[in-house]
C-alpha cells in the first residue's frame, strides 16, 4: 500500500481528483476498477485511524462499487436508444468540484500576490476583538454561492486581443473604499451591479477579495438574492 497524507484531502471528490491528476487519467473516461481499488485502500486506512471523516469516504466507496458492478452488466439505454454511462453522475460531480476548487485556488493566488505589493490601509479600527458571527454576516449564503456569482462575472468578460502592455494600478484598499462609497449611496447593492462595467479580470478579482475583507471586518453582510448566481451586499455600519 502506498503512503498518503490523511490531512491532504478535503473530501472523497478531492481524493478522486488526486488519483486522476497523479496518473494523468481522462476524467471523461475514468477506469473505475483501477480507481476503486486505490480508493478502498485509502478508506481502509482511515477506518483504522477512526477518523470522523471516514463516513463520507465510505459512502463514496460504496458508490464506486455500485458503478463498478453496473460497468460489468449490459449497458442500459435511455429513451433515445443511447447507452447510459454508469459513470455519468460521478463525472459531473467531479467536473463541478474541480471547477470551484480552481476558482478557490485562483482567489488564493491573487490575494497572496496582492499582499506582496500593497499594504492595507487603516480599515480595521472598528473590528471587534471577538470573532465575527458569520451566520449573521452571511444570510443563507455559502462560499459555493459566492463562487458561482464570481465565476459568472469572470466568464462574462470578453477576451480582448490587445498588443499594448499596460499596468493596472489597483489595490484591495482602493476596492474596499469603492465598495464603501457605493454602499453609502444605497445601503445595499447586488454583486452583479457592483462589478457592472468592469472590463479587467484583476479588478473583479480584487473587488471580490475586498468584499470578503469587509465581511470579515463586519462592515457589510451578504444575503441571498432572488436572481440566479447573484447575491446582495448590505451595510452593517448602522448596526
79-99 per-position pLDDT tens digit: 888 888 888 889 988 888 888
Residue in this structure with the C-alpha cell 479600527, named with its chain if needed: 125
Band (164; pLDDT cuts 50, 70, 90): low
Rounded to whole angstroms, the Cα distance separating 19 from 30 reads 10
Which one has a higher pLDDT value, 109 or 144? 109
Which one has a higher pLDDT value, 171 or 122? 171
| pLDDT for position 48 | 63
Band (3; pLDDT cuts 50, 70, 90): very low
| pLDDT for position 115 | 59
Which one has a higher pLDDT value, 21 or 55? 21
The residue-averaged pLDDT of 195-220 equals: 86
Cβ within 8 Å of residue 16, ≥6 positions away: 35, 39, 60, 90, 94
Rounded to whole angstroms, the Cα distance separating 21 from 18 reads 5
CA 115 vs CA 121, 123, 153, 168, 236: distances in Å: 12, 15, 23, 16, 26
Rounded to whole angstroms, the Cα distance separating 139 from 130 reads 20
Comma-separated ranges of CATH 1.10.10.580 domains in the chain: 121-235
Considering the domain 121-235, what is its CATH architecture? Orthogonal Bundle (1.10)
Band (138; pLDDT cuts 50, 70, 90): low
Taking the model in full, what pTM does it have? Answer: 0.40
Strands 231-235 and 188-190: antiparallel
Rounded to whole angstroms, the Cα distance separating 237 from 217 reads 11
Sheet holding 231-235, edge to edge: 138-139, 220-224, 231-235, 188-190
Band (139; pLDDT cuts 50, 70, 90): low
Amino acid at each position: 500500500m502506498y503512503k498518503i497524507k490523511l490531512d491532504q484531502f478535503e473530501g472523497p471528490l478531492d481524493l478522486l481528483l488526486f488519483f486522476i491528476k497523479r496518473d494523468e487519467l481522462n476524467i471523461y473516461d475514468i477506469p473505475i476498477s483501477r480507481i476503486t481499488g486505490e480508493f478502498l485502500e485509502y478508506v481502509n486506512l482511515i477506518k483504522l485511524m477512526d477518523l470522523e471523516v471516514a463516513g463520507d469516504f465510505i459512502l463514496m466507496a460504496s458508490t464506486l462499487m455500485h458503478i463498478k458492478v453496473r460497468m460489468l452488466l449490459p449497458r442500459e439505454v435511455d429513451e433515445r436508444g443511447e447507452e447510459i454511462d454508469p459513470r455519468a453522475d460521478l463525472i459531473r460531480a467531479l467536473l463541478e468540484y474541480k471547477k470551484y476548487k480552481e476558482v478557490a485556488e485562483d482567489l488564493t493566488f491573487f490575494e497572496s500576490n496582492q499582499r506582496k505589493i500593497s499594504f492595507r490601509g487603516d480599515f480595521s479600527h472598528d473590528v471587534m476583538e471577538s470573532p465575527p458571527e458569520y451566520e449573521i454576516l452571511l444570510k443563507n449564503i455559502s462560499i459555493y454561492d459566492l463562487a458561482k456569482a464570481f465565476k459568472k462575472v469572470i466568464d462574462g468578460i470578453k477576451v480582448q486581443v490587445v498588443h499594448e502592455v499596460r499596468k493596472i494600478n489597483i489595490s484591495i484598499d482602493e476596492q474596499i473604499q469603492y465598495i464603501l462609497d457605493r454602499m453609502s449611496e444605497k445601503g445595499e447593492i447586488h454583486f452583479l451591479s457592483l462589478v457592472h462595467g468592469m472590463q479587467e479580470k484583476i479588478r473583479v478579482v480584487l473587488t471580490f477579495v475586498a468584499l470578503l475583507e469587509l465581511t470579515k471586518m463586519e462592515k457589510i453582510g451578504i444575503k441571498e438574492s432572488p436572481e440566479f448566481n447573484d447575491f446582495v451586499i448590505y451595510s452593517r455600519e448602522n448596526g
